[in-house]
Amino acid sequence: EDKVVQSPLSLVVHEGDTVTLNCSYEVTNFRSLLWYKQEKKAPTFLFMLTSSGIEKKSGRLSSILDKKELFSILNITATQTGDSAIYLCAVELFDNNAGNMLTFGGGTRLMVKP
């Protein structure tokens, strides 16, 4: 069975701290790994990773994929209160019944205190 596991489940830090969120996966027919940020409703797209070892960066956020060890990390440096959210990791895979689909992890709830 395909599965995506995120850790930690939740995290409380203070502004200015650096955090690392983890995502490990066991899936067949892997195509890509995506990170989303969910504040109240709509998950918003952060990164899509398809190749191992190539870091993607956007401001204070960065992410990298290791296809050999089957995991990805999302780093946030100099955290701000606006980074408080649930961070979702999703793996895109091809399933014979479902076609191309995203399988999500349970999310990491990040709270940044002033």
Partner 1 sequence: DAGVTQSPTHLIKTRGQHVTLRCSPISGHKSVSWYQQVLGQGPQFIFQYYEKEERGRGNFPDRFSARQFPNYSSELNVNALLLGDSALYLCASSFGAAGVYNSPLHFGNGTRLTVT
List Cβ neighbours of 39 (8 Å cut-off, separation of 6 or more): 84, 85, 86
3-state secondary structure of 83: helix
Torsion sign across C-alpha atoms 95, 98, 102, 108: negative
Q: How far apart are CA 71 and CA 91, in angstroms?
A: 10
Which residues contribute to the site for partner 1 (CB under 8 A)? 4, 31-32, 34, 36, 41-45, 48, 88, 90, 92, 95, 97-107
The minimum distance between CB 40 and partner 1, in angstroms, equals: 8
Closer residue to partner 1 (CB): 4 or 110? 4
Looking at this protein, which amino acid is placed at residue 43? P
Closer residue to partner 1 (CB): 59 or 99? 99
The minimum distance between CB 110 and partner 1, in angstroms, equals: 15
Closer residue to partner 1 (CB): 16 or 45? 45
